Structure 1
Amino acid sequence: MTEPPEAPAAEQPDPGASAGPAGEAGGRKRGPGSGVAARAAAAVPRSVTGRATLAGFIVSALLILAIVFGSRLLRNFDSALLPYAVATVFLAFGVAYRYTVWISAPGARRLFVQGRRSLFSAENFRRAPTALPKMAATYLGFQKFLGARSHARWAAHQLIFWGCILASLITFPLTWGWFTFTSSTGSGPGYEMRVWGFKILGFDSLNIIGWLMFHGLDVAAVLVIPGASYFLWRRMKDRGAITGQRFAYDMVPLLALIVISVTGLLLTFSSLFLHGGGYEFLAILHMVSVVFTLIYIPFGKFFHIVQRPAAVGMQLFKYTGRQDDQVFACRRCEEPVDTGPYVENLRGTMRDLDLGFDAWAEYCPRCKRVLRGSAYLSQVKKGFK
């Protein structure tokens, strides 16, 4: 058991403690390295900005080409959906731009490289061929890690996740002109679904398959509304959520999802029961809410949707370390902290950021708190007689 680094508690903040607005609002004393990290995050180098801008233009151009050729030189493109298509092009630019900036930061770059290396490792695949699909299902699909916090939160998150996935799988191809539905008889009820101009299947609009084809977005809306409503209710009632929440960052995404879902259902209601009454106004309101949300994704809370797949590679990186019995024990209590490669990766990131206390990554959270308390008693409180 080694001795901890000698420094006052005020100079040795807990690197495992949570950071962010909630921690700062609570009056947590910031360590000497935190200012460096904040300044580094705030001032993006021009070289990174240039690469990010170039990446954004390339991805946007590729999407435009995909729209043109996927819609058979715009023959299958619906001009009424042009605002949606323009918003998706902007979405592609924003996602590529921010993702490039994100992986340019030392911490994210290390995690990204290690995760990618584990993800495409032939050796890892030979040793554990089912590890990757299992982790993709648990972390991306069913998000089992949320169930440890609350079963209600997990269920609500699942409703939002699968509702948005279903809506995206329907909306994006239709917007780009990749999917078309045409009547095979001229007046129905027989329809054909074509992808890139090729017939995929024919269906009867009066049976259950046809109903799901034409009301898939309604099903997605029914899934999203209760999930988003639960989180909205929680953010208005839960003290922990209220303390650190920001309206534009935490509340607006939920409100946007609800507005999109409700206006989409109202469009169907207007068509079926009101003979199209108010349809034009609802269509414009729905379009504005969707376009706003698509533009908001790269620069708001929804960006975690893009970041989440990186967790699969990172979990695979940790999994391979555990398979090799590379478990790192706490320097003080000798309880397992994490895998050895992960701890070394964390220390490397802290050194890249010039934080100056990377040795503390070798202690478990409990021992960090004990050592900080001991340092406070011996270095700070002894000055008060």
Structure 2
Amino acid sequence: MTRRATLVATAVSLLLILAIYFGSRLLRDFDSALLPYAVATVFLAFGVAYRYTVWISAPGARRLFTKGWGSLFSVENFRKAPTALPRMIATYLGLQKFLGARSHARWAAHQLIFWGCVLAAAITFPLTWGWFTFTSSTGAGPGYEMRIWGFKVLGYDSSSLIGWLLFHGLDIAAVLVIPGASYFLYRRMKDRGAMTGQRFAYDLVPLIALIVVSVTGLLLTFSSIFLHGGGYEFLALLHMVSVVFTLIYIPFGKFFHIVQRPAAVGMQLFKYTARQKDEVFHCRRCDTPIDTAPYVENLEATMRDLKLDFAEWAEYCPRCKRELRGNAYLSHVKKGFK
């Protein structure tokens, strides 16, 4: 598995290097000042591909991967429920409504981090790879052109609203990320439930890294506008180091769930299509609906693959499980103390 994961990760990294080379028009549009960022994205691709390959080698993850992505690309599912996939992508990946059931504050903070990071990635990665270029079309004047792979897609005035949004897109992303990450950092410092099982490297470092990246990015803008470039070189170096560290850290930290989430969307679609067919599994003891029959069968098969000898428990509802465990305790454990 290690050899296979290494080969897959190497192939993905080489494909990204080729995409950078040809996407930047044989490096003509590649900015050498952004080389450390580009190298970090190659390491990011290697780490994500490596860990993803290892992850789906486990029985449970392999079934999730197979069923999830199979449902995503199923022609039958699209024909029977053409709006289901876009709706789940919007609600499960975009709006993440399942978090609202836990806490509205957590949902809002998660949305700030999510959309801030999406905006930052949408701007940073293409620029780093040389796919996007912004060039002046009027010499020293305010006219600019945005080109993708060398093709002009937009002309704008730098003093217009569009120009301001394009030039300050990363600042907007930072303003979104800072309050969201700060909320979770504060919660992990104060909430006893969150403090109990947290780990510094796994839970706190990603939040600190996001805040450092965002703050140093805003300081770069502050330096260029209000300090006439004072301290800009030091801030640029600090920002680069923080961004490179964060990108390399993603495959090995908590943020890896970002890569795993699309497969979970496929599993939700898998369960949804089964409900449409009325394939609902009922509890063997009280006949309460548990979940879809294919989902329960998939769970039982995974438990058997893991050599867990209680796969049949998946066929009982949570209340019946608690009652059966209680009766077993009274019959076999407490009885021994008489």
Query: What TM-score comes out, normalization by structure 2 length?
Result: 0.99
- Tell me how far 1:116 sits from its aligned partner: 2.1
Long gaps (5+) in structure 2: none
- Deviations, residues 351-375 of structure 1 (Å, cap 9, x unaligned): 0010111001111122212211111
1:242 to 2:234 alignment: no
In the alignment, which residue of structure 1 is the partner of 2:307? Answer: 354
In the alignment, which residue of structure 2 is the partner of 1:209? Answer: 162
Structure 1 CA distance for aligned equivalents of residues 10 and 70 of structure 2? 27
In the alignment, which residue of structure 1 is the partner of 2:95? Answer: 142
1:231 to 2:231 alignment: no
Structure 2 CA distance for aligned equivalents of residues 371 and 146 of structure 1? 31
- Deviations, residues 185-208 of structure 1 (Å, cap 9, x unaligned): 111211011111111111000011
In the alignment, which residue of structure 2 is the partner of 1:191? Answer: 144
The structure 2 residue matched to 1:375, chosen from 321, 324, 328, is: 328
In the alignment, which residue of structure 2 is the partner of 1:180? Answer: 133
Q: Secondary structure at the match of 2:195?
A: helix
Letter in 1 for 2:306: L
Q: Secondary structure at the match of 2:184?
A: helix
Structure 2 CA distance for aligned equivalents of residues 104 and 353 of structure 1? 12
Residues 166 and 220, structure 1, Cα contact 8 Å, conserved in 2: yes
Structure 2 CA distance for aligned equivalents of residues 333 and 287 of structure 1? 59
1:110 to 2:63 alignment: yes
Q: Secondary structure at the match of 2:26?
A: coil
- Tell me how far 1:330 sits from its aligned partner: 1.1
1:200 to 2:156 alignment: no
Number of matched residues? 338
- Deviations, residues 177-236 of structure 1 (Å, cap 9, x unaligned): 111111111112110111111111110000110000100000000000010011111111
In the alignment, which residue of structure 2 is the partner of 1:73? Answer: 26
Residues 329 and 338, structure 1, Cα contact 8 Å, conserved in 2: yes
Which structure's relative contact order is higher, taking Cα pairs within 8 Å and 6+ residues apart? 1
1:1-385 to 2 correspondences below 5 Å: 48-385=1-338
- Tell me how far 1:113 sits from its aligned partner: 1.0
Q: Secondary structure at the match of 1:82?
A: helix
Letter in 2 for 1:239: R
Q: Secondary structure at the match of 2:144?
A: strand
Q: Secondary structure at the match of 1:338?
A: strand
Q: Secondary structure at the match of 2:28?
A: coil
Residues 77 and 177, structure 1, Cα contact 8 Å, conserved in 2: yes
- Deviations, residues 308-331 of structure 1 (Å, cap 9, x unaligned): 011111001000111111111111
Residues 139 and 311, structure 1, Cα contact 8 Å, conserved in 2: no
Q: Secondary structure at the match of 2:153?
A: strand
Letter in 1 for 2:69: R
Residues 146 and 153, structure 1, Cα contact 8 Å, conserved in 2: yes
Structure 2 CA distance for aligned equivalents of residues 175 and 123 of structure 1? 39
Long gaps (5+) in structure 1: 1-47
Residues 163 and 221, structure 1, Cα contact 8 Å, conserved in 2: yes
| Deviation >2 Å, runs of 4+ | none
Structure 2 CA distance for aligned equivalents of residues 197 and 261 of structure 1? 30
Identity among equivalent positions (%) equals: 84
- Deviations, residues 118-154 of structure 1 (Å, cap 9, x unaligned): 2222221111110010011111110010011111111
Structure 1 CA distance for aligned equivalents of residues 38 and 70 of structure 2? 35
Residues 174 and 180, structure 1, Cα contact 8 Å, conserved in 2: yes
- Tell me how far 1:89 sits from its aligned partner: 0.2
Q: Secondary structure at the match of 1:77?
A: coil
Query: What TM-score comes out, normalization by structure 1 length?
Result: 0.87
Structure 1 CA distance for aligned equivalents of residues 69 and 22 of structure 2? 31
Letter in 2 for 1:332: R
Structure 2 CA distance for aligned equivalents of residues 262 and 119 of structure 1? 38
- Deviations, residues 61-108 of structure 1 (Å, cap 9, x unaligned): 000001011111111111111110000000000111111111111111
- Deviations, residues 247-292 of structure 1 (Å, cap 9, x unaligned): 1100000000000000000000000000111111111110111000
Structure 2 CA distance for aligned equivalents of residues 358 and 93 of structure 1? 36
Structure 1 CA distance for aligned equivalents of residues 37 and 76 of structure 2? 43
Structure 2 CA distance for aligned equivalents of residues 193 and 323 of structure 1? 46
